[in-house]
DNA sequence: TCCATATATGAGTGTATACTCATATAACAG
DNA sequence: CTGTTATATGAGTATACACTCATATATGGA
């Protein structure tokens, strides 16, 4: 645990500054991918199994063009996988660790906005 | 663990759509805060203890104005705390769970870019 | 081949925000 | 009070990117 921590920070804080910049940009980019509600919505819609684009359009109430773009972003980030089947393209979670990140963020937010969080309908 | 998962997703996927949108936006906003290399750099600089703005400017090689802005962003997000001492303002990590998120992302990236990551100088 | 359906993408627009410069505020020293 | 240092912030610019509309591509059916 702490070993892992040390490892990661070693990666981030290397002496060679140029490379460290690249690593930081990679990490930041990953966070940015998760920084859009639409994309979170898509991830949630995909959590219990693959869906095709049409199903995701229905689930998210967004335009097909927009959904396709976000799916592309998530796929390029390595978070989703793609599978063609006839006319349909099915997307699926290829990096489930994403959900642990969401949980981490939710935990922080709940700690921070305890009361508001509960007001959000947190029970059940 | 799985209980926690269920809990969080329950929060995200409530029936009342309006509120769920707010929750998603909150979560996405948190990810966006972490989606800037400069801010990650500041977090790393603060990991082993509080620092004042001048120290952070030195550590990050950025302008003082820019550092102050990012510190404000991080503070408003509840990630940093502030402490004034004479002319100096010291910032400190107030939500250490942030680092677990970074570790999670690093883990994903290492899995994805295994070889490149190693080329980054990952060892030791 | 021709048409219908599912998905992707080019082009344009609007918005958010990172950055900089200059200046404002705040606190201390003399 | 005056000047000096540390930090914050208003204003302006540039860039990234989310979104939409229209259209392209791809696959299957008649």
pLDDT tens string A76-105: 999 999 999 999 999 999 999 999 999 999
For a pLDDT cut of 70, what percent of chain A falls above it? 76
Choice between A118 and A99, residue whose per-residue pLDDT is larger = A99
Q: Tell me what pLDDT residue A13 has.
A: 43
Interface test with A, best of B109, B111, B115, B122 (most A CBs within 10 A): B109
Phi, psi (deg, nearest 5) at residue B71: -65, -40
- Sorting pLDDT into bands at 50, 70 and 90, what band is B86? very high
* Partner residue opposite A8 with nearest CB, options B32, B41, B103: B103
CATH code of A36-124, in short, is: 1.10.10.10
- Sorting pLDDT into bands at 50, 70 and 90, what band is B6? very low
Q: B51-52 and B88-93: which strand pairing?
A: antiparallel
Q: Which residues contact B52 (CB under 8 A, 6 or more apart)?
A: B85, B88, B89, B90, B91
Element containing residue A82 per DSSP (H, E) = strand A80-85
Q: Tell me what pLDDT residue B90 has.
A: 98
Domain with CATH 1.10.10.10 in chain A: 36-124
Phi, psi (deg, nearest 5) at residue B91: -110, 150
Least confident of A14-18, A40-44, B25-29: A14-18
From chain B, the residues in CB contact with A36 under 8 A are 28
Helix axes A97-112, A37-46, angle to 10 degrees: 120
- The answer to whether residues A79 and A93 touch, using CB atoms and an 8 Å cutoff, is yes
Measure A104 CA to D27 C1' (Å). 42
Cα–Cα distance for residue pair B107/B102, rounded to 1 Å: 8
Say how many residues make up chain B: 124
Angle (nearest 5°) at CA B62 between B58 and B64: 80
Describe the strand order of the beta sheet including A51-52 as a list of residue ranges.
A51-52, A88-93, A80-85
Q: What rounded mean pLDDT belongs to chain A?
A: 84
In 3D space, the residue among A106, A32, A3, A120 whose CA is nearest the CA of residue B22 turns out to be: A120
ipTM above 0.90, yes or no: no
């Amino acid at each position: 645990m702490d070993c892992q921590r040390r490892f990661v920070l070693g990666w981030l804080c290397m002496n060679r500054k140029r490379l460290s910049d690249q690593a930081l940009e990679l990490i930041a980019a990953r966070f940015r991918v998760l920084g859009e509600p639409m994309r979170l919505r898509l991830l949630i819609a995909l959590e219990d199994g693959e869906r095709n684009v049409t199903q995701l359009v229905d689930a998210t109430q967004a335009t097909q063009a927009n959904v396709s773009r976000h799916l592309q972003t998530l796929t390029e980030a390595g978070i989703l996988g793609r599978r063609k089947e006839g006319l349909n393209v099915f997307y699926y979670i290829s990096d489930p660790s994403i959900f642990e990140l969401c949980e981490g963020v939710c935990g922080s937010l709940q700690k921070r906005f305890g009361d508001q969080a509960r007001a959000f309908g947190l029970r059940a």
